[in-house]
Amino acid sequence: MPDADKIFNAKNNLIFPGFIDVHTHMRDSTLEYKENFVTGTSAAVAGGFTTILDMPNTVPPITSVKELIHRKHTAKNTILCNMGFYCSPLSGKDIKELINEGAIGFKIYLHKPFEDQDLSNNNIMEIMLEIKKNNSILCVHAEDYSFSGNSESTSSNKAEVLAINKIINLVKQINCKIHFAHISTHEGLEIIKKHKNVLNISCEATPHHALLDKNDASDNFGYCEPKLKDKTDRESILKGIIDGSIDIVATDHAPHTIAEKKNLKKPGFPGLETT
Ligand code: DOR
Ligand code: ZN
């Protein structure tokens, strides 16, 4: 190493490289009343993050080159850390041009497809095929569609298991790179572990799914998707982070206003600054 210009004595503190958060929801634009790029990336830097990846469920969502360009343009000269942008493809045909415009990867929400987005197995396979061809990655919110609208079962253990199994069956045919977002159940993690050595899959977990369960935060303020599960799930997630079967800790930073949390039970909460 060359000599340093400046020497800083960190005493007994731990020193880390800048953190990377692969799962954040920066609000800005139409959702600026919750947070904007300045406040959101300030929270990132305060939490030790120097790079964050932004999820595409903005309003409108980042499903086209036009929206991706708009997002990048809004971020330019405003953000305080590095940022990469996920896109959500409507079909396989969108992949190449979104990559050319700088898409860092692709995300699908199995339980909540966007307008005009067909998440039938056939269309998902077409998307996977193009992602593989272009050496990109598909990040999956793994909660099964068949439960959406049914508040009893939405975000249940079963919804996660069904969705992971469905994606694994498709990956067995296509073998594109898959990243499972915010794994929250013991069973879900077990299935991923079983297939990790043969398939090109990785997964992440959030601090809240590793440290809290449904008994810790059962009110609207503790509601997130996937929701907080049982103590046994929480213990498996924490164990998975420690033993390395969970590849990444990601915050799923998703702020809302207090009124939205209280009255509308909006899912998610901030995570960047508190991680
Ligand atoms: O808790 C969540 N909040 N889960 C999601 O999938 C979306 C996110 C948000 O954007 O509010
Ligand atoms: Zn998220």
Contact by Cβ (8 Å): 222, 212:
yes
Name the pLDDT band for 198 (thresholds 50, 70, 90). very high
Angle of the 157-174 helix axis to the 121-133 helix axis, nearest 10: 50
Tens digit of pLDDT for each residue in 126-138? 999 999 999 999 9
Q: What is the pLDDT of residues 83-127, one digit of tens each?
A: 999 999 999 999 999 999 999 999 999 999 999 999 999 999 999
Task: Decide if 230 contacts 214 (C-beta within 8 A).
Answer: yes
Q: What is the mean pLDDT of residues 194-208?
A: 97
Backbone dihedral angles phi then psi of residue 52, each to the nearest 5 degrees: -135, 150
CA–centroid distance, 272 to ligand 1, in Å, is 14
For residue 147, name the pLDDT band (cuts at 50, 70, 90).
low
Question: Which of 24, 29, 225, 261 to mutate for ligand 1's pocket (most ligand atoms within 8 Å of CB)?
Answer: 225
For residue 139, the CA-to-ligand 1 centroid distance in Å is 14
- Other beta carbons within 10 Å of 151: 9
Say how far apart CA 193 and CA 196 lie, in whole Å: 5
Q: In what order do the strands lie in the sheet with 105-109?
A: 19-24, 49-54, 82-87, 105-109, 138-141, 178-180, 201-205, 248-249
Q: What is the pTM of this model?
A: 0.94
Q: Per-residue pLDDT tens for 212-265?
A: 999 998 899 999 999 999 999 999 999 999 999 999 999 999 999 999 999 999
Q: What does the alpha-carbon distance between residue 80 and residue 241 come to, in Å, rounded to a whole number?
A: 29
Range from 74-88, 143-157, 170-184, 218-232 carrying the lowest mean pLDDT: 143-157
Taking a C-beta distance cutoff of 8 angstroms, is the pair 39, 80 a contact?
A: no
* Cβ neighbours for 71, distance < 8 A, ≥ 6 positions apart: 29, 54, 58, 62, 85
Predicted confidence (pLDDT) per residue in 19-50, tens digit: 999 999 999 999 999 999 999 999 999 999 99
